[in-house]
Structure 1
Amino acid sequence: MAPALEVVEYTDPACPWAWGSEPKFRLLRAELAGVRWRRVFGILFDDDEDPAPDPAAEAAWYAKFIDGVTEHTGAPKPPRLCWVAKTSWPASLAAKAAEAQGETVAELVLSRLRETTFVHGTPADDTDRVLAAVEDVPGLDVEALHAAMLSDEVRQAVRADWRETRSPCPEVLDITAPGPHSGRAKHLEHHVRYALPTLTFTGPGGRFVVPGWRPLREYLDAVRAAAGDRPL
């Protein structure tokens, strides 16, 4: 029998709003134990983006942006951001590959990757930095993770995540709710994508979307609405 509820989480290891949402999502995942929860890595920093002409100035600007986000989320922030992540691909490949080693390991790997930016200020934006960040994660087979990161299977899975994130549902296209992070879809140069993080809840009661920075009660309301009359 199919599960009564499916949750899809659009995220990125380098997203400060996703970092600040971790405690809420951790609680929600615990409350929904046994429910299918699928994580989609949206690639906040893509490989084809032009490098900043002044990396130090870019890092200073982005550090101020992180400061503003943490004023709302209360999440930790680095004492100094040494650089802005050049790409989200290596961390996303590692986070996706870690899922094959179980939910507990996958959660620890993703948290470690986020900490490289938001605790240490040194984003894991290449393979060596990723592997160094996760080398002592309990229960992780680092060699297997590295091999999976290099596999066509995992790269295609993250590429599918990239495409899915850039096909947002109609509910997020014209959001007019006030900030600080309403979750309205982001209009990029060549694409439209979900704001990160965005959660969708789909079940017998229908599909309900909770995008951006929202209080825990909105996620719980969406769970109840999507589940309809069926127990979780």
Structure 2
Amino acid sequence: MTVASDQPALEAVELVEYTDPLCPWAWGSEPVFRRLRAELAGRVRWRRVYCVLFDHDDDPPPDPAAETAWYARYVDDISTHTRAPRALRLSRVAASSWPSSLAAKAAESQGDEVAERVLRRLRESVFVLGEPADTPALALAAVRGVPGLDLERLAADAASAAVLEKVRADRAEARRPVGEVLSVRHESPHPGAAKETTDGGHRYALPTLLIRTAAGCRAVPGWRSYEEYATAVDELCPGLPPAPVPLAPAEALTRYGSLTGPERELLTHGQWPPAGAVRVETGNGPVWLHPEEAAAHPAHGRNSPAEP
């Protein structure tokens, strides 16, 4: 990657985000990651690694209804810390992360903006709609109408051997965590120590951000504040760009298509909501959609225009 000559320290910076489209802690980290990506856009390589949180070899629950009730309480507890929206009703625990991970990985070939919107819709399938995109058909239904997305191409790519191999490589990489995350002490409700796997190994807790530069490597695991991520980047690569001016509400909603309460507080400045914003109710505060996004969103029919 080549950057401006007056920023030599940022020439070889990679940020690796270990995540899963259906992970509640990753969903709760979206506000700070969106801000960090906006600040570092064009200055670093940001790479997502899909860890496959819900795997094929996971044992099915003996009592699906009880499992769903437990998991809904678990997500509810997480949302008290992150303030991220949660579905009014969760239909089931996701059977597999593979379909959504394959769709998210396949979307990367259609450009960063499309890939961001696709991943967002996949996250919203479970945490806004309560219907996790855990089959190929549900993953495609969740992302239908994303601006600029070629859905037919996405379906073909997500079913291809090439994309399957990429997600398999992601899954394997996530199960080779750096040593510093094997034991983590932090006051966060989700400190992010690596999780044990059924084969006796470990994988990254989600989310984990790995920062790599010529000067070294730093892991920031679990649920953390924006300041902790920014400090870690700046320590390895002095010259982190100053915080951008927050976007006007209408501009932010146009850029992102969908904003939660924590996101609009962190990313925008000005009277909220902007004209035409569409409000979708959840169990922990609304999600706000751009009207064009709302027209194609799976939540269409639940949406209501914001009151002036």
Q: What TM-score bracket applies, with the shorter chain setting the length?
A: over 0.9
- CA-CA distance at 1:4 after TM superposition: 2.8
Q: Which amino acid in structure 2 is aligned with residue 29 of structure 1?
A: R
- Residue 81 of structure 1 aligns to a residue in which SS? coil
Segments of structure 2 that go 5 or more residues without pairing to the other structure are 3-10, 243-308
SS of residue matched to 1:202? strand
Q: Which residue of 2 aligns with 1:25?
A: 33
Pick from 57, 64, 69 the counterpart of residue 48 of structure 1: 57
Could you tell me how far apart the structure 2 residues matched to 1:64 and 1:58 are?
10
Deviations 1:84-123 (A, max 9, x none): 0000000000000000000000000000000010001010
Paired position in structure 2 for 1:178:
187
Distance in 2 between the 1:40 and 1:231 partners? 25
Bigger CA radius of gyration: 2
CA RMSD in angstroms, aligned pairs only: 1.5
**Equivalent in the alignment of 1:131:** 140
Instruction: Look up the match of 2:131.
Output: 122
Contact 1:8-1:40 at 8 Å conserved across structures: yes
Provide the residue aligned with 1:206 in structure 2. 216
Bigger helix fraction: 1
- How many residues get paired? 232
Give yes or no for contact 1:86–1:125 (8 Å, CA) kept in 2: yes
Aligned residue runs from structure 1 range 1-232, under 5 A = 3-34=11-42, 35-190=44-199, 191-228=201-238
- 1-structure distance, mates of 2:136, 2:237: 40
AA at the equivalent of 1:11: T
- d(CA) in 2 for partners of 1:230 and 1:111? 26
Partners in 2 of 1:40 and 1:126 — Cα distance?
20
What code does the residue aligned with 1:153 have? A
Q: Secondary structure at the match of 1:210?
A: strand
Tell me the CA shift for residue 188 of structure 1.
2.2
User: Shift of residue 176 of structure 1?
Assistant: 2.3
Structure 1 length as normaliser, TM-score? Answer: 0.96
Q: Which moved more, 1:170-179 or 1:194-203?
A: 170-179
Check whether the contact 2:233–2:240 (CA below 8 A) recurs between aligned residues. Answer: no
Identity %: 57
Q: Which residue type is aligned with residue 213 of structure 1?
A: W
- The whole-number CA distance in structure 1 between the counterparts of 2:130 and 2:62 is 20
